[in-house]
Structure 1
Amino acid sequence: MTTLNLGILAHVDAGKTSLTERLLHAAGVIDEIGRVDDGNTQTDSLALERQRGITIKSAVVSFAVDDVTVNLIDTPGHPDFIAEVERVLSVLDGAVLVVSAVEGVQAQTRVLMRTLRRLRIPTLVFVNKIDRVGARHDGLLRDLAEKLAPATVPMGSVRRLGTRSAEFIPYGANDPVFSATGPLAERLAENDDALLAAYVDDPARLSYGRLRRELAAQTGRALTHPVFFGSAMSGAGVDTLIGGIRELLPATAGDEEGPVSGTVFKVERGTAGEKIAYVRMFSGTLRVRDRLPAGDDSEGKVTAISVFDDGSSVRGASVGAGRIGKLWGLGSVRIGDVIGDPDAAGAAGRHHFSPPTLATVVVPREGSDKGALHAALTQLAEQDPLINLRQDEIRQEISVSLYGEVQKEVIQATLADEYGVDVTFRETTTICVERLAGTGGAAEVMGKEPNPFLATVGLRVEPAPPGSGVDFRLEVELGSMPYAFMKAIEDTVRATLREGLYGWAVPDCAVVLTRTGYAPRQSHAHGTFDKSMSSTGGDFRLLTPLVLMEALKRAGTIVCEPMNHFRLDVPADTFGAVLPALARLRAVPHTPSAHGTSYVVEGEIPAAETHALEQLLPTLTSGEGVLETAFDHHRPVQGTPPTRSRTDHDPLNRKEYLLSVVRRVSTGAR
């Protein structure tokens, strides 16, 4: 039996979870369809999801379509939880993008489709809610082609649109759309030379069967996107969608005899607090009692496996290629870890969406809960690494990164409900970065003041393009000193760059190791190791921040704030009120364009001001304005650069740093 790992994606409230319920019911997995409003759906299992009626965590259910096992992954629709979607993308064979027939293409719909197309994930579009008043068909098809992807292909027509009896009628062999000279043949011919030749010279060769096969082939290569209409509530069109999933999306058999390779895309805690890893297997077979690297250079043993089958996960002895399994026993496993051969593990570890641009300090209401708060947030960070815990040991504070205010509310509720810790938050702030203004270098030599460590380190920092990351290079011979010391320098460089001259991370630069030196291992006459005469890894870990910060000071850094690209669609008669508001919020609008009775303007706005614009828009536009925003780039801050409190021992203050990291500092050698 082949397997299809299918993602269901949508803008919030498009009906994604309701569609999942209908698919499970149609497959015979559940006897009764749950409702989001009633809090009894299969995939929204968290109490908080049931209370709020939104999906917060991705969930996996399984059903069979003929000889294909479909592992369906329901993902959050709210943009604050885009990190959950990102982790799922790396394990998908195909996707269904749900669009509301009433609300149409929305901000998150665009973000998701752009990413699906960039990753070339085969995608079907399901237009939901055709039984709702205000549902659209022809106009929505135009919007899909203009705003999502030009290569959208309608797979049928709708009768009694906008009524409770609305139904979807799939196109057949006798419909003009599937004729040899119809729009489908023309669309498919754009991507296939042989088909184009037949379309021009001998249309009779383009039979209905050939067009269907070519449609499946091009959908599988993410060149076309078939569009189905229906209603998750009434079931209209769902059977046709299931047929499309079976026919048009590429199921995989996988090589169960090949090298073991898989990706961990979700981590959760069981009822006893044990860690459970969700893994998509790309190759080979993983068995109970197999030993695996566990994320921190240690090794873990798989103690139990569950695989998804017929709506739930069942215990098994193994999980093979193409399947999704739950693993127990890997205590140090992390999201994004690759199991086995990394070359066969898909898109694991790649970032498809922008990182969070907001941060806040989490404060327990009871001072005695500080320890419990740290433990709870550590577990939440296992499930969502992008919340990026930042511990300030000096102030005893913990901050987290965020995508938005809803995510903050969910973290607060989760801490209270699941961990019994009541918290508040400080004001949400914007996460800036530092970029190098130039090149700078520094070095300290052992035995020469003011260096108190048995180590020599020289570093040069150079600017690098945005998004390139930290590139650590050597200008010294690899064998000039033990590799462990060089590794200590590199690891410390990467850790130190999390806080630059102003306290913000320096994410993109080249760091060149220009000079090294060490004291070889020394022993007394009786053979015992003498630490005071020999270099240790600690010497290099403690000296490197001092050298690196001096190099940064000589290079200089520029604080940059995150900027969002915005697209604003407002009624023409409100545009005059919107423009001054954009100016107050430091937005830079481009030339607007008229679209019927509305104006569309795009531009840039600081991420820090986006939430304020969202709050102002309903009042300024009488509730008719539509705003889309997405992170675009970082821009140098105008005026005095904002600073962030340091959480390290502050290597910018040499005296205090040395007092913090060594018990006794003497002038010269120790």
Structure 2
Amino acid sequence: MTLRNIAIIAHVDHGKTTLVDQMFRQSGAVRDNQRVAERAMDSNALERERGITILAKCTSVVWKDTRINIVDTPGHADFGGEVERILSMVDGVVLLVDAAEGPMPQTKFVTQKALALGLRPIVVVNKVDKPDGRPDGAHEEVFDLFAALDANDEQLDFPTLYASGRDGWAVESLEDERKDLSPLFDLIVRHIPTPAPVRDNTADKPFAMLASLMERDQFLGRILTGRIEQGTVRAGTTVKAMNRDGKLVEQGRISKVFSFQGLERVAVTEAHAGDIVAIAGLETATVSDTLADPTVEDALPSLPIDPPTLAMTFSVNDSPLAGREGDKVTSRVIGERLMREAEGNVAIRISQSADRDAFEVAGRGELQLGVLIETMRREGYELSVSRPRVLYKTDENGKRLEPMETVMVDVDEAYQAPSLRK
């Protein structure tokens, strides 16, 4: 069976979850009466309520004799710390654009990362059956976006499909018969290349994989997900973990190897170069570490984890209303919960105060920290939080550096001041 690894990019409410739902149904991954929209791409309650992707997820479908691994991408900049690492697992992207709204900011953020990595894009103009749909205009705006993001000639020559994710059809031309998503599946197989490790014929080399995602299971412990760059991995074998500098992090035995089959994470005896798998058994290895056969000496190239930019102080709720909403109120249980979060979320850092009654939680932005607070509240935790504060950096002389943000505003010439038209 051949492989294709793709990521799906879309702005909020452009129909990504609905389209993937139909892909699962038409590929036979789920039954017609099985609900998948809340399980596949929006498996988190806050994701369903806010309509955003917070957690990166891997799923797969089988089309004819090809297995297509699908990676969901967080679009908000607060969750962008893992976007580049996620995109390093795939060889192409499906860019989903609303026919009425065209490309939006969330689309631009992840698309820029994908184009910079040289990934092949497929553009799907969705919701073309909407009364206010303008599919041709949306297509032209995508081309302009790609050009503005310095796409190469091959990326600018992207194929386009017109679709209705709700009704489950895609066509190459608006005049074509609207039946199902076969054109989308066929285009993915035809346009997206086989995984780079397969093209480079690395199957006979010693096993090596770069960890791109991490989560924790209460029974299996730490689970690391990534694409196998070379060789074969088997359950029960011994591997070592190296950091970005090639230094040994730990050595241990793989207890489980999981492959993504439909909505399920299924245990397999072995997996080969090019496939996206999840591995359990290691206790210290984390994102950006290389998991490899003990004979491998060099770590795989990886991107550093983006440093936090904001911090908040989490402490016990000492207000007069304490104990009325939650049952987990002590600093010990709050600290244990935060440490579990830090173990699975590499973009968050936790440090404890000197008196051990408060914790400094540092993250990439207010939305990321707000999601953590709301998740803990729903789990029954009561806590007090400080207002966010900027984390400053210092140079080699100990002088504090001022945080700066570069902003670019694109304005049509007709709305520019005369002094800007030069």
TM-score normalised over the length of structure 1: 0.53
Shift of 1:360: 1.6
* Aligned position for 1:312: 264
**Alpha-carbon contact 2:24-2:262 (below 8 Å) kept:** no
Say whether 1:131 aligns with 2:129.
Answer: yes
How much has 1:285 moved relative to structure 2?
0.7
Cα pair 2:329 2:382 within 8 Å, conserved: no
TM-score between both structures, scaled by the size of structure 2: 0.82
1:427-465 CA distance string (max 9 Å, x none): 1112221123xxxxxxxxxxxxxxxxxxxxxxxxxxxxx
**C-alpha separation in 2, matches of 1:44 and 1:401:** 25
Q: Is the contact made by 2:250 and 2:285 (CA closer than 8 Å) also made in structure 1?
A: no
After TM superposition, give the deviation of residue 248 of structure 1 in Å. Answer: 0.3
Give unmatched runs, 5+ long, in structure 1. Answer: 154-189, 192-217, 437-555, 570-592, 603-670
- 2:211 alignment partner, one of 264, 269, 287: 264
Residues 128 and 134, structure 2, Cα contact 8 Å, conserved in 1: yes
Report if aligned partners of 1:594, 1:600 keep a CA contact under 8 Å in 2: no
The answer on whether the counterparts of 1:152 and 1:227 sit within 8 Å (CA) in structure 2 is: no
SS at match of 1:58: coil
Q: Which residue number in structure 1 is paired with residue 245 of structure 2?
A: none
Q: Shift of residue 562 of structure 1?
A: 2.2
8 Å Cα contact 2:347/2:364 also seen in 1: no
Q: What is the aligned partner in structure 2 of residue 276 from structure 1?
A: 223
Of the three residues 281, 302, 325, the one matched with 2:254 is: 302
Distance 1:355-1:11 versus aligned 2 partners, 3 A rule: farther
State how 1:507-526 maps to structure 2 within 5 Å.
Answer: none
The question of whether the paired residues in 2 share the 8 Å contact of 1:267 and 1:334 is answered with yes
What one-letter code is carried by the residue in structure 2 that aligns with 1:336?
A: S
- For residue 232 of structure 1, what is the aligned residue in structure 2? 165
CA distance in 2, matches of 1:112, 1:21: 22
Q: CA deviation at 1:33?
A: 8.0
CA contact (8 A) 2:75 2:110 kept: no
Residue 361 in structure 1 maps to residue 304 in structure 2: no
Matched, 1:561 2:390: no
Q: State the distance in 2 between where 1:229 and 1:401 align.
A: 42
Correspondence list, 1:179-190, <5 A: none
Alignment identity in percent?
29
Q: What code does the residue aligned with 1:234 have?
A: D
Indicate yes or no: 2:23 matched with 1:23: yes
Pairing partner for 1:57 from 34, 46, 55: 55
- Residue in structure 1 matched with residue 174 of structure 2 by the alignment: none
Q: Deviations over 1:43-81 (max 9, x none)?
A: 322333344443221111111122221111112233332
Counterpart of 1:392, as a letter, is: S
Q: Which amino acid aligns with 2:93?
A: A
Amino acid in the other structure paired with 1:3: L
| 1:414–1:358 distance in 2 versus 1, CA, 3 Å | same
Distance 1:31 1:152 in 2: 42
Q: Which residue in the other structure is 1:462 paired with?
A: none
CA contact (8 A) 2:4 2:91 kept: yes
2:370 and 2:182 mapped to 1: Cα distance? 38
Equivalent residue number for residue 345 of structure 2: 384
Given residue 425 of structure 1, which amino acid in structure 2 is its aligned partner? V
Structure ranking higher on relative contact order (CA contacts 8 Å, 6+ apart):
2
**Maintained 8 Å contact 1:21/1:34:** no
CA shift in 2, pair 1:115/1:342, >3 Å: farther
> CA shift at 1:310, angstroms?
4.1
CA contact 1:263–1:339 (8 Å) conserved in 2: yes
Q: Quick one: which amino acid aligns to residue 109 of structure 1? A: T
Note the 1:432-471 alignment, pairs <5 A.
Answer: 432-436=392-396
Counterpart for residue 184 of structure 2:
241
Is 1:7 the counterpart of 2:7 in the alignment?
yes
- State how far apart, in whole Å, the 2-side matches of 1:361 and 1:33 are: 46
Q: Secondary structure at the match of 1:135?
A: coil
SS in 2 for 1:242: helix
